[in-house]
Amino acid sequence: MLRLLILSLSVAVIALTLTRAQIFRPLRYWLDDHNEWLADLFYCPYCMSHWASLVVVSLSGVRLIKTSHWVMDLVLTVLSVTGTATFLAGIIWKVLQFAPIPKTETKEGL
């Protein structure tokens, strides 16, 4: 259970960072003009979480479900992590929407 939460939290943060963070906004705008499929992926946290889950689960080697077929283990683990990550990303996004944004200092203020 702890592995599921750790993997899911990692995937949720990756998906939100790539699809919502300002630092990746130029990449999303560039993709709008160059690759429609990737652009759609980089605007959709749910879509991105599938791919992030596949990468994170594959690299970690964690299998939450043990069957006689490793492909089935991988697919079921990825889908479990994706579902949990989507739920966590929704909570994180709601919290971030209501969090106060600190003002940044300008050069003149230094």
- Rounded Cα distance, 96 and 88, in Å: 12
Q: Distances in Å between the alpha carbon of 62 and those of 26, 57, 58, 75?
A: 34, 6, 8, 12
Phi/psi at 109 (5° precision): -85, -5
Of the candidates 24, 61, 53, the residue with the CA atom closest to the CA atom of residue 39: 24
The pLDDT of residue 64: 84
Domain boundaries, given as residue ranges, for the chain: 2-90
Neighbours of 63 (CB within 10 A): 15
Give the pLDDT confidence of 25-71 residue by residue, as tens digits: 999 999 999 999 999 999 999 999 999 999 999 999 888 888 888 89
> How do residues 69-101 score in pLDDT, each as one tens digit?
889 999 999 999 999 999 998 888 888 878 776
